[in-house]
Chains A and B, each alone.
Chain A
Amino acid sequence: MTDVAEPVVQTNGLTKCFGELTALDGLTISVGRGQILGFIGPNGAGKTTAINILVGVMRPTSGWARIAGADCVRNSRQIKRLVGYMPDTFGSYSNMRVREYLDFFGAAFGIPRSARNRRIAEVLDTTGSTYMQDRFVETLSHGMKQRIGVARTLLHDPQVLILDEPANGLDPQARIEMRELLLRLAGMGKALIVTSHILPELARICNVIAIITQGKLRAFGTLDEIMRDLRQQRTFEVQLADPARVADAAGVVRKTLEEAERPSVVERAREGLVQFETHQPDAGVAAMLARLIDAKILVAQFREVTKDLEDAFLSVTRANA
């Protein structure tokens, strides 16, 4: 688990049941100031339930959640001032211009008019949206709406931003801009919780990752920590010079692995490739290569397959399927 010096968001044993269904099962996480937590999970995993509890629109069945020390259930009014929430649906009002839209939410947060005007200009500038302030909200493109959504969450200067799928449906340029925006916000000292299905995007910006499936937290920590855990199970590929000897090579690998663990070997005869997974350290793997060479098998390449967040996610979700 990651060490967070100054946790802003903390949950402990957070559980939510809907009748027989346990949507969230003992979630314990913490996010610090300036950190970006990537909240990952398949559809229906319990991410939105956890977010709804954090923003104070849902009560947990058991456990607790705190934001900057305020309890999400007992201090729900305080929580609303501490959190800026952008749901996956934009929540637009027809016939309203961007400035009027922000003005309304600013007024709903009780920001005085003079301060509100200044703040609207600031958040429009931060999100690079000043040029669209007179546009009607419903006529904006998806990317523009996402930016206005972020601008809205920033209006009352919250300590924590919770963004549900901010990069969903964005074109590559808009995605890059969104990524830069989120990093800028984290640089301003805000704690961010971001959900997304675009895992490479999350890997680029998140310091902390939480993987959740079937309501349970399966992995939590920095990306390096999660990858380190995952790396205990390493995947190697042996590219043969002669594809006809795939079966021989697979036999050698299997025999070597059987000495220490249950072998997991895949043969790809057409590509002349043998793929295997092992927990053995580098010395064990080197011995494997030596045995292949001893068996007079011509090895063109012997490589470790690099794992990324997607592999980590798949590995965790498959293990718990």
Chain B
Amino acid sequence: MTVILQRELSGILRTPRAVAAICVSAALFALLVLARWPTSALVDLSGAQSRLVFRVFAYGLLGGVLLLVPAFPAVSVVRERIQGTLLLLLNSPLKPGEIYLGKVLGVVGFAVLLLATSLPAATACYAMGGVDLLRDIGSLYLVLGLVMLECVLVGLYVSCHAQTPDSSVRVTYAAVFALVFATLGPNYLMQGKDGYLARGASLLRGLSPVPTVMEIVGDAGVGAQGLLEKRKGPEGFAFGAILVSALLAAGTLAQLNHRMFDRSRAQGKVTDDRGLAVRTARRMVFLVDPQRRKPGIPFYMNPVMVKEFRTRRFGRFHWLLRLIAACAVISLLMTLAATTGTVDWGVETMGGLMVLLQVVLVVLITPSLAAPLVSSEIESGGWSLLQTTSIAGWRIVTGKLASVLWTMLLVLMATVPGYLIMIWIEPSMWLQIYVVQICLLLTVVYTLSVSSAVGCWMSRTAAATVVTYVVLMAIFLGPLLIWLGRDAPFGRPVVEAALMINPLGAALSVIGMPGFAQYELLPASWWIAGVVSVCCLLGFVVRVRRLLKPL
């Protein structure tokens, strides 16, 4: 096991992204202390100043763990399986349990190093007074340690089941964010209610570290709407996290053996060659059957765009239709709930939730489609073939970008019925909704351009996906972190400036979401998004041109 541990840890520490992650986190925490360290000689006896710093520190640390840790375990097993080294390991005297434990400890060791970079900042918070060593700092690190363990185990579980490193990264991040944020949703909707469903929602909420961290820093629960909850401490979360970790470990160990390689090759039978009953059933289920025999690419279509659609696992047409249908149904249900008075939310809150739903989808899906546009081509060897065809560079660029843009536009279009009903209920909102749609469209262009520009400079798909996710999450979650510290420690100008670089902030402000309505973000936010998008697209074009140019 120690052999695996040594190899995993040294392997991670040798990668440039690990070094970058450690340096960036160390620099950020140092900056935080420098920025908030008291400059006057006055003593803050209440400890309010220290608690404000501690609040930002705690959320920042949680965000850092969620962004940086999952990437490493996510590629750990799947990459070894593709390279063939996993088979060698399984054929060695090492037991699967030892291999697994070595991998877990290797990534956890790196994550501990990452956490260690925050210790000077934690010490500074403690030295400033007002923060208890055990109850606050100790509890925070306990929760973060458990989150870290969960992230590692989720990553390894997904990595054992995934076919490619980039899909593993994508699914791992989606699973981690589902565990951390989506588990809060049902409880948010059922606050103050009794019954099994409400209790189940409360238990589900216990799986997320966010309420516990909020409790440690002294904030009310997520969307508490004035309802007070008694302090529960980190024990509840710890129990849930250990239970989830045990289940994940058992699931991974059940998969980590020779059966991983026991997969038959698809024979490629097309629907057109099957019986009438199967053909009819598949047409009904898929609407656009991915297994049908496709006609040739017509002259008016960009072949690169068609190729991008056809080679995706996620994001192919049948998946898009399902996603769009789900979006449409959710948006309609939410609007219906607001109009029939079953919940006491205003149209603004409902609109805000719909905006959030769309932005979450955009931020989660776009990088997974746009980041590997070039890197996957380089990795698969397809780029060297594209270079030898007579297709022009601008067609490659437009084809690749259009393949993602169309997908995301369809996702945006899916909630249009919900917005139309909102206008029907509240005709005066049409202008707001119109502006929100522009904000969302800009969000799509912004995420697409940033993702493609960041991802195209890497030659490995998994690295491109991870770095792009980290950059986008930093852009979208970073300002929200500052927004959480609105009024104190950050003043209105700082929060407003931070929200301007996040198109989501502008959309939520326009729709009148509580907490965002007071900020004046337009048109500055649009200008920033526009300029950043243009610069990123230029970067993408430059990269493609460089790759196509003879050496």
Contact = CB atoms under 8 A, between A and B. Distances in A.
A56 B550 CA distance: 7
B518 interface: no
A175 interface: no
User: Which of B293, B304, B551 gathers the greatest number of chain A CB atoms within 10 Å?
Assistant: B551
A134 B297 contact: no
B341 interface: no
B306 interface: yes
A113 B296 CA distance: 6
Contacts of B273: 134
Contact of B299 (A55, A90, A94, A112): A112
Given A92-B380, A113-B299, A136-B268, A56 B310 contact: no
Of B296, B297, B299, B550, most buried by chain A (CB within 10 Å of CB) is B296
Contacts of A139: 265-268
A91 B390 contact: no
B387 A91 contact: no
Given A108-B391, A109-B390, A87 B384 contact: yes
A96 B310 contact: yes
B311 A94 contact: yes
Interface stretch (A76-84, A198-206, A257-265, A276-284): A76-84
Contact of B387 (A57, A106, A107): A57
B164 interface: yes
A47 to B, nearest CB: 15
A134 B311 contact: no
B386 A57 contact: no
Contacts of A104: 297, 303, 306-307, 310
Interface in A51-91: 52, 55-59, 73, 76-77, 80-81, 83, 85, 87, 89-91
Nearest to B386: A108
Contact of A55 (B269, B304, B313, B388): B388
Contacts of B389: 80, 105, 108-109
A99 B270 CA distance: 12
Contacts of A58: 550-551
Nearest to A120: B296
Contacts of A83: 388
* Size category, B interface: 35 or more
B388 A94 contact: no
Contacts of B385: 85, 87, 91, 105, 152
A37 B385 CA distance: 22
A315 interface: no
Contacts of A92: 380-382
Interface string B358-396: 000000000000000000000011111111111100000
Given A100-B310, A112-B299, A57 B268 contact: no
A117 interface: yes
Contacts of A109: 389-391
A301 B247 CA distance: 77
Interface in B138-183: 164
A98 to B, nearest CB: 8
Contact of B381 (A55, A80, A87, A112): A87
A302 B384 CA distance: 54
A76 B390 CA distance: 9
Contact of B270 (A52, A76, A116, A134): A134
Interface string B213-230: 000000000000000000
Contacts of B295: 113
Contacts of B268: 97, 134-136, 139
Contact of A93 (B316, B382, B388, B551): B382
A86 B74 CA distance: 34
The B interface is mostly helix, strand or loop, or mixed, namely loop
Nearest to B290: A95
A93 B383 CA distance: 11
Nearest to A49: B551
Nearest to B297: A107
Contacts of B312: 95
A76 B391 CA distance: 12
B266 A89 contact: no
B310 A85 contact: no
Contacts of A76: 550
A103 interface: yes
A124 to B, nearest CB: 14
A23 B7 CA distance: 36
A139 to B, nearest CB: 4
A93 B311 contact: yes
Nearest to B167: A94
B294 interface: yes
Contacts of A135: 266-268
B298 interface: yes
A103 B382 contact: no
A251 interface: no
Nearest to B548: A57
Interface string B522-551: 000000000000000000000000000011
A110 interface: yes
Given A89-B381, A108-B303, A57 B297 contact: no
Nearest to A89: B381
Contact of A108 (B164, B296, B298, B390): B390
A97 B294 CA distance: 10
Contacts of A89: 381, 384
Given A80-B388, A93-B382, A96-B310, A136 B293 contact: no
Contacts of A107: 296-297, 303, 306
A187 to B, nearest CB: 24
Given A87-B384, A93-B380, A107-B296, A59 B266 contact: no
Residue of B304, B389, B551 with highest tally of chain A CB at under 10 A: B389
A139 B551 CA distance: 33
A59 B551 contact: yes
A94 to B, nearest CB: 6
Nearest to A76: B550
B390 A95 contact: no
A95 B313 CA distance: 7
Given A92-B381, A136-B268, A113 B386 contact: no
Identify the 8 closest CB pairs spanning chains A and B, nearest first: A91-B381, A107-B303, A139-B265, A89-B381, A108-B389, A135-B268, A107-B297, A108-B391
18 contacts: A73-B550, A77-B390, A93-B307, A93-B380, A95-B313, A104-B310, A105-B385, A107-B303, A107-B306, A110-B390, A112-B299, A116-B296, A134-B269, A135-B266, A135-B268, A139-B267, A139-B268, A156-B390
Given A73-B550, A85-B388, 17 more contacts: A56-B388, A57-B551, A85-B385, A89-B384, A96-B307, A97-B268, A103-B296, A106-B296, A107-B303, A108-B304, A108-B389, A109-B389, A134-B269, A134-B270, A134-B293, A136-B266, A139-B265
